[in-house]
Structure 1
Amino acid sequence: MSEEEKNTTIYVIGHCNPDTDSICSAIAYADLKRKLTGNKYKAKRAGQVNSETKFVLQHFGVNPPGYLPDVRAQVKDIEIRKIQGIDRNMSIRRAWEKMKDNSVVTLPVVESDNQLIGLITIGDITKSYMNVYDNKILSTAKTPIVNILDTLQGELVAGNPDKIIDSGKALIAAANPDLMENYIEENDIVILGNRYESQLCAIEMNAKCIIVCDGAPVSRTITKLAQDKDCTIIKTPYDTYTVARLVNQSMPISHFMKQDNLITFTTENFIDDIRAVMAKKRHRDFPIVDKKTGEFIGMISRRNLLEAKRKQLILMDHSERSQAVDGLEDAEILEIIDHHRIGSIETMNPVYFRNQPLGCTSTIVFQMFEENNIPIEKDIAGLLCSAILSDTLVFRSPTCTPVDEMAAKKLAEIAGIEIEEYAKEMFTAGSNLLSKSPEEIFYQDFKKFTANDLTFGVGQITAMNQDELEKIKDKLLPYMEKAFKDHGVDMLFFMLTNILQESTELIYQGNGAKEVVANAFNVSNPDEKVILEGVVSRKKQLIPPLMMTLQQDNN
């Protein structure tokens, strides 16, 4: 396996309305894969963590997985060219050299805290050299003396290198001193040679800076006079012609950089979204900044978009496209671990698919730990056991198998919990729904399904108290109509399951839903609700009859 493959993060993620099994199996399977391969596997969630799952995670001291609502390729999935930001006072010459050394045409300009303040391009530098006819450009650009020293490979004979040229023009003292007095003004920058009289005249005319060419010596008298008059003296080995050509390259890039309406992206931006923006602009490079801090990170170009890597996923506890995280079609699915019916997800390549008729996906994960002789740590055991107890309703659900019960008991021993007592605490925490909004209750455990051309949604909550279920139902009934319209499904069903009584009250919405319920469960004249005795499992007792009825009606 290449280094690149080793450094790629593979996300282990459940369905978009995650229950305890979806979250816990993802965390445990990521742990198993890391131990087996040494590679980067990270558990993620595609929805909010419900009350029951929060209790489980807190009980075993495990942080909830990070939220990943969309798995389309993002800027962080492509190669971001790392380049150090430059200071706004850097000279044009230094910026040009930095571009050549790094084989780039754009440099980011940053403040001391690495906040992006501008961009300088090779085009900006070209314009600065070709379009400047103003002899006051050095002062207009507020050129630091230190830049002139660096650009001319100069030696500071007198003056302060930290000073800024902020007034005056630049000129060459080619005439004799008598004529020089007519055009040298206060604060000018004078380029001259080794003539004592010219140097003296420039200083006496209150020039701000004189540049002595050809490495000519500067007398002590001239140096002392310059110090007294606060005039900077720079000695350079270049001749007058070369100095005249080079001196403008000492200007700071801040005078030429782009700083208004900068187009920036963050690592969280989706490739699809920025592709359209890039197409409208003729920029070669675009800066990337941190979404939270605004700090500069690096640069990308249109070419980088061609190299975008699809996110790699392992799907847990589902194989239905309607239940999956957004953007799934743009991701690469590597594995699917599930205990439900085989759904509608299609893959580009063959994948590892493990689907077993068990009561819980976490039972499958437990088996895989044992098959690979990997010890299960206490917190992971607690998560897996909790998921099995939740999905099987403490072994009361018809989906529960002897394998699930055996796995839960082994895991409970490792986790140090007493099953009945712990399960009661867990279900109590999960059924504390009266303080929640109808929306929060509805989406605690909601999934979509497809039968031929029909789409329907099924939600479920479980409780150990019938009075609580009645109050929850009163909150849910008015919300059902809104949820039905929001999802655009053909039918909507919701299960209010009493764990102790092992029964479910089913409420529903949608044209034909009443007839489907009547046919599926052999109920005559159902109202807006129906009591299903002995029905506690959505997967095994509700979905199959609904599917069969819908398929028969369609035929």
Structure 2
Amino acid sequence: METIYVTGHRNPDLDSVCSAWCYARLKNKIDKRYKYEPIRIGHLNETTKYQFRKTRVTPPRCVKDVRARVRDVMINKFPSLHPEDPVYSLVTLMREKHASVVPLLDGENYFGLLSLDEITSFFLKENAGERPHYRFEQENFSKVIRGEFIKKNNMKSFEAYIMTGAMEFDIYSRRINSLLPDLPVLVVGKRLKHLQYAVDNQFPAIILTGIEPSEKVDLNLSGYKGIIYKSYEDTAETIRLLRMSLPLKRLVAKDPPKVSVDDLFDDAKRLLMNSEYRGLPVFDNDKFIGFVTRRCFLEKPRKKVIMVDHNELSQSIEGLEEAEILEIIDHHRLDAERTREPIFIASEPVGSTCTIVYHQYLRWSVRVDRLTARMLLAGIISDTVILKSPTTTPQDLRAVNKLAKIAQIDNVYEFGEELFSVASLLNKADPKQVIEGDFKTYQTGDVRFGIGQVEVTTLTKVDEVKEKYIRQLESTKQKYALDWAMLLVTDVIAESSILLSTTYPQKERALIYPIDSPGKYHLKGVLSRKKQLLPEVLSVLEEGD
């Protein structure tokens, strides 16, 4: 079953992760054609970890990108052969299964890949130049030629050329003597003089033809150490099959490049197309798990993705430009990329994407269970800062009231305060994780800027950590190639914020907020980055000098 990924934005907050989880849960109920998997594209903040831990739910797994990879096109169900199997088995398998490439496996141990090229090379080589010598496997005689052993020995394999006993004895014996010390595998009918000569001279193997299954051969074998096999085929057919009794490992002349299951589609395609091979083995670490052929790269697969709590490529998962966007569920301003096909968009001016997801449950008449209600409620309470943010709408309030009843939560304000109580403590947390944990980048004109946000329950520690956070903001500014970087530290209890900022002389002093000290602004009553801080920053940047 094909998977469709439901993903929130980079640096995911609680609303982003909960909305992805709840929407995937809805889609799996109403659409059985696909598997909808919620994913995240960044580390979880403390509030989100707490919510999933509290509900004993496994959070969405972290996926780095949705670019096509070898695992998406590889062949992992295939017939295989053993390195000791005869060439005949490979020819038969390719004819019956129309296989262009066949792996050789000894148990789980990879030995090589064989294709029509190796078979062609084998037959061309043996029909060119001098009389060929073959490496025979005793057990392969019965796998290839209908018949039975009259005598076997302990020799697993041996090397010899092939000779038929069709000529007169004198010519036959002179020909043998001219090739000494090499001795042949003799393919001969019931010609006793030829046979006795082969026995007396310890030919490595004798294959008898034209003899009935029940017929006996009167030979003195007392001192003979070689192999005697009775073929039920005629001489010509026996020789044809005998040449294909060689073990397949003899055909593996080269070791093609290996690819990893996680290699990018384009990289693996380029490697194969620039090589002489029909296929390449695929490994997961050191384990062989399949192979790719040229046919695998005829069409590049596109992952299917639903975007929640964002709609811009710059805020989404890597490789999304190669994927197929199916839906957008979001409450931010629309700046989505053009899509190839019409898609479903649920965009509402509400305080939380989880509110929109709740509306989708209502739209599809799907009952919201207690666990889903708690997840949706957590997302709304978090994104609206316990319903105090100016982004909060009547739709959010109605959703909260309904969901709280289903989740059996009596006091949503206590529920929210408990959520935020585990928010980052600035003096103990890693500044980089705090700033980049919920950091969004923007651009207006030629100016690129970014704003991070962190919720706390007190602002008393800000002065203590101000300098190291501003230093980290400078590093983050360089990392994202920005002109200006800021961190909004929001006290969800006091309903107030402090803005820490890198220097941006062109515009920073034009902000309407009072400056407490260089790089630190006091934002009384400001809770929302999107609805309160961002419009002010955009206004300042868009004003003339």
TM-score (norm 1): 0.88
Partner of 2:241: 246
In 2: Cα distance, 1:157 partner to 1:101 partner = 32
Distance 1:203 1:436, change over 3 A: farther
Q: RMSD in angstroms over aligned alpha carbons?
A: 2.8
Counterpart residue type for residue 409 of structure 1: N
Counterpart residue type for residue 387 of structure 2: F
> Is it true that 1:257 corresponds to 2:260 in the alignment?
no
> Is it true that 1:148 corresponds to 2:145 in the alignment?
no
Partner of 2:390: 398
What aligned pairs does 1:421-432 form with structure 2 within 5 A after superposition?
421-432=414-425
> Is it true that 1:419 corresponds to 2:404 in the alignment?
no
In 1: Cα distance, 2:502 partner to 2:253 partner = 58
Distance 1:330 1:259, change over 3 A: same
> Is it true that 1:29 corresponds to 2:20 in the alignment?
no
In 1: Cα distance, 2:195 partner to 2:463 partner = 99
In 1: Cα distance, 2:267 partner to 2:510 partner = 47
**Bigger helix fraction:** 1
Which of 190, 200, 210 pairs up with 1:204?
200
Q: CA deviation at 1:118?
A: 0.7
Which of 439, 445, 464 pairs up with 2:432?
439
> Is it true that 1:502 corresponds to 2:499 in the alignment?
no
What aligned pairs does 1:175-186 form with structure 2 within 5 A after superposition?
176=169, 179=173, 182=177
| 3-state SS of 1:466 partner | coil
Partner of 2:93: 98
Counterpart residue type for residue 353 of structure 1: I
Q: Is the 8 A contact 1:117 1:259 kept in 2?
A: no
305-314 or 51-60: which moved more?
Answer: 305-314
Q: CA deviation at 1:25?
A: 0.2
TM-score (norm 2): 0.90
Distance 1:478 1:175, change over 3 A: farther
Which of 254, 269, 281 pairs up with 1:287?
281
Counterpart residue type for residue 253 of structure 1: L
In 2: Cα distance, 1:57 partner to 1:104 partner = 48
In 1: Cα distance, 2:30 partner to 2:432 partner = 40
Deviation readout 1:155-194 (Å, 9 max, x if unpaired)? 222226x852234544334453893784676975322221
> Is it true that 1:219 corresponds to 2:216 in the alignment?
yes
Q: CA deviation at 1:423?
A: 2.7
| 3-state SS of 1:449 partner | strand
| 3-state SS of 2:118 partner | helix
In 2: Cα distance, 1:152 partner to 1:240 partner = 11
> Is it true that 1:456 corresponds to 2:452 in the alignment?
no
Partner of 1:14: 8
| 3-state SS of 1:424 partner | helix
Q: Is the 8 A contact 1:72 1:327 kept in 2?
A: yes
Distance 1:413 1:404, change over 3 A: same
Counterpart residue type for residue 193 of structure 1: G
> Is it true that 1:116 corresponds to 2:113 in the alignment?
no
In 1: Cα distance, 2:104 partner to 2:137 partner = 17
Distance 1:493 1:258, change over 3 A: farther
> Is it true that 1:70 corresponds to 2:73 in the alignment?
no
Counterpart residue type for residue 130 of structure 1: L
What aligned pairs does 1:326-475 form with structure 2 within 5 A after superposition?
326-417=318-409, 418-432=411-425, 434-475=427-468
Deviation readout 1:316-349 (Å, 9 max, x if unpaired)? 0012222111112111111111111222533233
182-191 or 163-172: which moved more?
Answer: 182-191
* Percentage identity across paired residues of the two chains: 29
Q: CA deviation at 1:255?
A: 1.1
Counterpart residue type for residue 445 of structure 1: D
247-256 or 344-353: which moved more?
Answer: 344-353
Q: CA deviation at 1:199?
A: 2.2
130-139 or 453-462: which moved more?
Answer: 130-139
Partner of 1:85: 80
What aligned pairs does 1:534-545 form with structure 2 within 5 A after superposition?
534-545=525-536
Q: Is the 8 A contact 1:446 1:460 kept in 2?
A: yes
Q: CA deviation at 1:27?
A: 0.7
96-105 or 541-550: which moved more?
Answer: 96-105
In 2: Cα distance, 1:510 partner to 1:350 partner = 44
In 2: Cα distance, 1:117 partner to 1:470 partner = 65
Structure 1, gaps ≥5 residues long: 1-6
Deviation readout 1:373-412 (Å, 9 max, x if unpaired)? 2111222222111111111111121212232233223323
Partner of 1:3: none
Distance 1:298 1:32, change over 3 A: same
| 3-state SS of 2:543 partner | helix
In 2: Cα distance, 1:358 partner to 1:17 partner = 21
Which of 138, 156, 163 pairs up with 2:134?
138
In 2: Cα distance, 1:369 partner to 1:314 partner = 16
Q: Is the 8 A contact 2:470 2:519 kept in 1?
A: no
| 3-state SS of 1:429 partner | coil
What aligned pairs does 1:541-552 form with structure 2 within 5 A after superposition?
541-552=532-543
Structure 2, gaps ≥5 residues long: none
Distance 1:442 1:481, change over 3 A: same
Question: How many residues get paired?
Answer: 536
In 2: Cα distance, 1:46 partner to 1:331 partner = 15
Partner of 2:230: 235
Q: Is the 8 A contact 1:14 1:315 kept in 2?
A: yes
493-502 or 402-411: which moved more?
Answer: 402-411
Distance 1:59 1:278, change over 3 A: same
